[in-house]
Amino acid sequence: MGILELTAVELGKWIKSGRVTVEEAVQACLDQIKKAEPRVNAFVTIDEEGALCRAREVQRKIDRGELTGPLAGVPVAVKDNLCTRGLLTTCGSKMLYNFIPPYTAEAVLNLERAGAVVLGKTNMDEFAMGSTTETSAYGETRNPWNLEHVPGGSSGGSCAAVAVNECFYALGSDTGGSIRQPSSFCGVTGLKPTYGTVSRYGLVAYGSSLDQVGPVAKDVADCAAVLEAIASHDPKDSTSIKRADTRFTEALVDDVRGLRIGIPRDYFGEGLNPSVRDAILKAVEVLRQKGAVVEEFDLSLVEYAIPAYYVIASAEASSNLSRFDGVKYGYRASAYEGLHSMYKKSRSEGFGPEVKRRIMLGSFVLSSGYYDAYYLKALKTKALIKAAFDRAFASFDVIVAPASPDTAPRLGQSLCDPIQMYLGDIYTISVNLAGLPGLTVPCGTDSLGLPIGMQLIGDCFQEKKLIRAGYAFEQSRCYQGPALARELERLPKSEKQRGLSGAEEKASRAEAFGSAFKERADWMKGGSK
Amino acid sequence: MRKEYETVIGLEVHVELATKTKIFCACSTKFGGAPNTHTCPVCTGMPGSLPVLNKQVVEYALAVGLAVNCQVNQHCKFDRKNYFYPDNPQNYQISQLYLPICHDGFVEIETEGGTRRIGIHEIHMEEDAGKLIHDEWGDASLVDFNRSGVPLIEIVSEPDMRSAQEVIAYLEKLRMTIQYLGASDCRLQEGSMRADVNLSVREAGAREMGTRTEMKNLNSFKAIARAIEGERERQIEILEAGGKVIQETRRWDDNKGVSRAMRSKEDAQDYRYFPDPDLTPVEIGDDWLERIRQARPEMREEKIIRYQKEFGLPPYDADILTGWKRLADMFEETTALCGKPKEVSNWLMVEGMRLLKEQGMDGDGLSFSPKNLAGLIGLVEKNVINRTVAKAVFEEIFRSDVDPEAYVEEHGLKVVNDTDALAKAIREIIAANPQSVQDFKNGKEKAAGFIVGQTMRAMKGKADPGLVNQLVRKLLEEAK
């Protein structure tokens, strides 16, 4: 078994014992990235030079005994909406094709303190708006299980990168399911923590009251270790919460005896792909046999979650994204007459259609005369949904749900019907509205061999219950990545020896990915702009 | 014949708070740094940056609110006011709309018709914007974000004022209250206090309000008074001509004495206010509120009473001295050093106020150290210098904060009270002015005064006037 098959925590142990160096691990990832990227396109930016340099620095610290944690030296990929000092951060948008942040997001800083080596920035739906990673200005990411299918979104790049062994784990962000749904589609494990657990400082905001940063990894143990590293009370984020119970790895116990599991009937009825339903119920049966108490119940209000979510998230987004105006950083139209023309042209040309759709929706629901009818009502609905969960958690420790009604759709299938795409978020968005933690673990595949994920939902601050349930389930199966990951690994290294800093290779695909790609490639070459 | 009209005025006053750091980040609020040097990712609206509320802002806002008799929203929130403009890096201003920190207060002002109560609708906290500099030569505008995120409170009055005089009295009252609290220096010229005037007119006795306009760009009390007169006349002329006043925002040009329309209500923007999700609600517990209440410093009215009681000052003195926080501080600190309240009061009120007026400054302009004024009073007390010299020395203290003792020594200004030297000088003057001696003989008292004056001049003002007077009379008698 090559090192790429290891989990993050396993690699950490190998590095600690000297069985492999940090540089070797980073180089292995970079080699895999070289082979995988032309097919998967999980990254927007690859920082080959920076990663190798950092690898040597981390190795020295490990050797000196300054870094002893489980993630020391383990390579990570970071979603491109988390600011990284000195490293391009585009949010998958042409609007930020040239934005190099002067600071690093707190979650990434926490990882760096734990000895992580950042390989690069992963692709995503533009400003995290989308469920397929097709709305990125830098081309769609493909699902490593079947390249004709989407990886899900918006953290599709992070999930695909983990699935295809381009990195050992990744950071994603989840506003309405953006970690849990693509984790399900890519057959990896993803955790959305309780709102306020991970600092949002440096996370480019989409829906501020819903956004959370979380781990994407190969298994629950890795997720627990990463969450333990990134959870922190950050005085720079007013919504950050001081928690005393962040030793999440303590919950990695194979024991679910007495754990009360609730199955909401409303989540397993019409609209759910039967193979998804069967796989999840089979997984629940595994937990039941291990001693969990399983019971069905009615969650209620399920049908109100989608409208409430799209009103709140779009309203916040319309305001959050107003700072992208061509004045201070990012894209500015090349020809304009006066201030308003500059605003209009820069934003018209810089944002893609899905982002514009949500800005318009958000501006509408906040406008005078509509505020009460839409935004205020959505906030009330949000409170009612939270109350419904509170009632449920009086009886259950964990609620089991699908992460998506279906497995990964084919490329191009979702964007032609945005409403249908929004409806796909039905099982994930209530969790954000209520601020709850949610964990997706792979639990099977459909007839096409596409992965199915089981979503475990917990009450606020009950990540440990999710980790315990997920871990116990996981012990009953062994992690299997997509065949592509192993095929690529077996390819001789020499087959794809191309420049990696992104420019040349990706510029050659500029035509396919439209003008944003070319803008960025030209700019990276220090070109004409 | 023109009808009788009543003017109805409400004010929106922005006050820049005296915090050391900005409202949502740790950047300095200092005035006058090189462009964009007092900035960080938060106050320049970088993606991913987040605001964190400066508690001192809440405390100042509470202090002001309590001082003007407001109710406090102990659970208050920040809202985003969305509009695009380059001086506003996020393209939204963090302000308070739905739950402002204070509401429903009042202040009392003294008018010709007696004490009047002016209602305060609300006080809310918000952030200031940056500054745009239009490049006259290049085809560009430059943005300086040093001011971006400087904390402000906006004090919104009820439409309770009826004249420019009342408006000035209200503003003076706010200024003094806020200065005494230390919440702001409230300088109109420097923009740390700004007032927008909402004004309408209606026929005397009418109950319905007229259509109002909002006047901006008022940089001094005088400009405010002129703008009010101008706008009142403009509206009355429109109504008298059978027209209708349009609800709009106007900009006052104080040089030309006219205003021009900026935007009408029709083009008023929809600010799409909503609660800022990046900030948690501000919870103001009873104990916090009580601490602010307890920490309230002595206010003007209390000082006026105490100055009369403790220092025996006349009410007039107490009133003038407390008109500016700086002046009152100067008085108290100097008195503490020299123990002569009436002396201190006289110097500040007579010479101090005269020099301030000459320089076009107000009571905030005093910048010398109390130690030097106390020193000067001591020199006069000990008869080291006479009053004429003392006035000159005071001017030096006022201008350059000199140490009076060193200054007097250096410039040889000590009183001459050497009887022989004075007598010699007087004899010479008497000898040179036989006519005066003759007049004195004829009973003209004034003649003695003339000789005294000549002597003082000869001694360059440094002679002890009492001693000179005494010697002149004695020598004139001798010369009879």
C-alpha B79/C-alpha B77 separation (Å) is 7
Whether pLDDT at B426 is above 90: no
Sorting pLDDT into bands at 50, 70 and 90, what band is A390? very high
Find the DSSP H helices in B182-277.
Answer: 221-240
Longest dimension (CA), chain B: 97
Sorting pLDDT into bands at 50, 70 and 90, what band is B311? very high
DSSP summary character for residue A164: T
Write the pLDDT tens digit of every residue in A160-176. Answer: 999 999 999 999 999 99
CB pair distance less than 8 Å for B277 and A316 = yes
How confident is the model at residue A270, as a pLDDT? 86
The answer to whether the beta carbons of residues A154 and A178 sit under 8 Å apart is: yes
Q: Quick one: which H or E segment has residue A295? A: strand A293-297
Give the start-end residues of each E strand in B130-175. 131-135, 140-144, 151-157
Nearest Cα to Cα of residue B18 among B135, B153, B188, B112? B153
Residue A329 identity: Y
Sequential DSSP letters for B288-308: HHHHHHHTPPPPHHHHHHHHH
Mean pLDDT for B164-192 is 93
**Averaged pLDDT of chain B:** 92
Tokens of A464: 């440990």
Across the interface, which of B89, B277, B280 has its CB nearest the CB of A323? B89
Residues of B in contact with A368 (CB under 8 A): 270, 272
A318–B contact, CB cutoff 8 A: yes
Dihedral sign from CA coordinates of A3, A9, A12, A18? negative
A323–B contact, CB cutoff 8 A: yes
CB pair distance less than 8 Å for A91 and B280 = no
DSSP summary character for residue A402: E
How confident is the model at residue B139, as a pLDDT? 78
Q: Indicate the range of A119-128, A352-361, B204-213 predicted with least confidence.
A: B204-213
Whether pLDDT at A528 is above 80: no
C-alpha A231/C-alpha B408 separation (Å) is 69
Residue A302 identity: V
Sorting pLDDT into bands at 50, 70 and 90, what band is A529? very low
How far B139 CA sits from the closest chain A CA (Å)? 10
Sorting pLDDT into bands at 50, 70 and 90, what band is A339? very high
Give Cα B139 to chain centroid, integer Å: 39
How confident is the model at residue B472, as a pLDDT? 85
Sorting pLDDT into bands at 50, 70 and 90, what band is A518? low
Which of A:87-126 have CB within 8 Å of B? 89, 91, 96, 99, 101-103, 105
Tokens of A47: 């920082």
Write the pLDDT tens digit of every residue in A85-99. Answer: 999 999 999 999 999
Bridge-based pairing of strands B151-157 and B5-16 is antiparallel
Is the domain covering A3-302+382-494 a CATH 3.90.1300.10 domain? yes
A131, A136, A155, A178: the catalytic one is: A178
For chain B, give the percent of residues with pLDDT over 90: 72
Whether pLDDT at B434 is above 90: no
CB pair distance less than 8 Å for A318 and B41 = no
Residue A334, Cβ density class (10 Å: 0-12 exposed, 13-18 middle, ≥19 buried): exposed
Half-sphere exposure of A152 (CA within 13 A, CB side): 37
Sorting pLDDT into bands at 50, 70 and 90, what band is B232? very high
The answer to whether the beta carbons of residues A102 and B44 sit under 8 Å apart is: no
Write the pLDDT tens digit of every residue in B88-108. Answer: 999 999 999 999 999 999 999
- What angle, 0 to 180 degrees and rounded to 10, lies between the N-to-C axes of helices B387-400 and B370-381? 170
Nearest Cα to Cα of residue B87 among B49, B40, B132? B132
The size of the A-B interface in CB pairs under 8 A is 97
Residue position matching structure tokens 């800005």? A359
C-alpha A375/C-alpha B349 separation (Å) is 59
Tokens of A521: 């490639």
Q: How far apart are the first and last CA of chain B?
A: 77
How confident is the model at residue A527, as a pLDDT? 40
How confident is the model at residue A521, as a pLDDT? 61
Mean pLDDT for A96-108 is 97
Sorting pLDDT into bands at 50, 70 and 90, what band is B409? confident
- What angle, 0 to 180 degrees and rounded to 10, lies between the N-to-C axes of helices B419-432 and B465-479? 50
Sequential DSSP letters for A129-160: --SSS-S-TT----BTTBTTB---SSTHHHHH
**Domains of chain B by start residue, with CATH:** 5-287 (no CATH), 300-410 (no CATH), 419-479 (1.10.10.410)
**Averaged pLDDT of chain A:** 93
Across the interface, which of A99, A236, A324 has its CB nearest the CB of B52? A236
CB pair distance less than 8 Å for B53 and A238 = yes
DSSP summary character for residue A375: I
Nearest Cα to Cα of residue A97 among A446, A303, A314, A349? A349
Tokens of B15: 């006050």
Across the interface, which of B80, B82, B84 has its CB nearest the CB of A325? B84
Residues of B in contact with A239 (CB under 8 A): 277-278, 280
- What angle, 0 to 180 degrees and rounded to 10, lies between the N-to-C axes of helices B434-441 and B465-479? 80
Tokens of B68: 């003007």
CB pair distance less than 8 Å for B41 and A103 = yes
Whether pLDDT at A502 is above 70: no
C-alpha B231/C-alpha A208 separation (Å) is 45
Domain-by-domain residue ranges, chain A?
Answer: 3-302+382-494, 498-524
Whether pLDDT at A512 is above 80: no
CB pair distance less than 8 Å for A204 and B279 = no
Whether pLDDT at A495 is above 60: no
Give the start-end residues of each E strand in A155-255. 169-174, 189-192, 212-217
Write the pLDDT tens digit of every residue in B3-43. Answer: 899 999 999 999 999 999 999 999 999 988 999 999 999 99
CB pair distance less than 8 Å for A325 and B82 = no
Beta-bridge partners for B123: B102, B155
Residue position matching structure tokens 């794809």? A496
Whether pLDDT at A497 is above 80: no
How far A239 CA sits from the closest chain B CA (Å)? 6
For chain B, give the percent of residues with pLDDT over 70: 99
Whether pLDDT at A1 is above 70: no
**Catalytic site includes residue A154:** yes
The answer to whether the beta carbons of residues B203 and B184 sit under 8 Å apart is: no
The answer to whether the beta carbons of residues B453 and B429 sit under 8 Å apart is: no
Tokens of B220: 């001094």
CB pair distance less than 8 Å for A327 and B143 = yes
Predicted-assembly ipTM surpassing the 0.85 threshold: yes
What are the backbone angles phi and psi of residue A344, rounded to the nearest 5°? -65, -50
CB pair distance less than 8 Å for B82 and A367 = no
Q: Indicate the range of A192-196, A349-353, A400-404, B468-472 predicted with least confidence.
A: B468-472
How confident is the model at residue B449, as a pLDDT? 85
Across the interface, which of A83, A322, A367 has its CB nearest the CB of B91? A322
How confident is the model at residue A257, as a pLDDT? 97
Q: How far apart are the first and last CA of chain A?
A: 47
C-alpha A76/C-alpha A33 separation (Å) is 12
The answer to whether the beta carbons of residues A184 and A178 sit under 8 Å apart is: no
Residues 6+ away with beta carbon under 8 Å from B76: B96, B99, B100, B101, B281, B282, B284
Whether pLDDT at A486 is above 50: yes
Across the interface, which of A83, A325, A363 has its CB nearest the CB of B48? A83
Nearest Cα to Cα of residue B25 among B49, B42, B38? B42
Q: Is A150 left (phi over 0), alpha (psi -120 to 50) or beta?
A: beta
Residues 6+ away with beta carbon under 8 Å from A40: A141, A142, A144, A147, A160, A161, A164, A166, A484
Write the pLDDT tens digit of every residue in B338-365. Answer: 999 999 999 999 999 999 999 888 888 8
Nearest Cα to Cα of residue B93 among B138, B137, B125? B125
Nearest Cα to Cα of residue B347 among B312, B383, B372? B372
Give Cα B138 to chain centroid, integer Å: 38
Residues of A in contact with B57 (CB under 8 A): none
How confident is the model at residue B446, as a pLDDT? 83
Which of A:205-264 have CB within 8 Å of B? 205, 207-209, 235-239
A93, A131, A154, A314: the catalytic one is: A154
**Catalytic site includes residue A430:** no
A35, A79, A345, A464: the catalytic one is: A79
Write the pLDDT tens digit of every residue in B39-71. Answer: 999 999 999 999 999 999 999 999 999 999 999
pTM for the whole structure: 0.89
Residue A164 identity: V
Tokens of A409: 């759709």
Q: Indicate the range of A219-233, A471-485, B454-468 predicted with least confidence.
A: B454-468
Vertex B347: Cα angle to B342 and B349 (nearest 5): 90
For residue B119, the SS3 value is: strand
CB pair distance less than 8 Å for A204 and B47 = yes
Best interface-test mutation with A: which of B50, B78, B80 has the largest number of A CBs within 10 A? B50
Whether pLDDT at B412 is above 70: yes
Q: How many residues make up chain A in this entry? A: 529
Tokens of B161: 């004022």
The answer to whether the beta carbons of residues A123 and A136 sit under 8 Å apart is: yes
Nearest Cα to Cα of residue A191 among A399, A455, A450? A455
How confident is the model at residue B279, as a pLDDT? 98
Write the pLDDT tens digit of every residue in A243-297. Answer: 999 999 999 999 999 999 999 999 998 889 999 999 999 999 999 999 999 999 9
Sorting pLDDT into bands at 50, 70 and 90, what band is A475? very high
For residue B143, the SS3 value is: strand
Whether pLDDT at A504 is above 70: no
Residue position matching structure tokens 């200054």? B407
Give Cα A490 to chain centroid, integer Å: 28
Whether pLDDT at A501 is above 50: no
Half-sphere exposure of A74 (CA within 13 A, CB side): 33
Mean pLDDT for B384-410 is 91
CB pair distance less than 8 Å for A208 and B277 = yes
The answer to whether the beta carbons of residues B297 and B182 sit under 8 Å apart is: yes
Sequential DSSP letters for B365-398: G--S-HHHHHHHHHHHHTTSS-HHHHHHHHHHHH
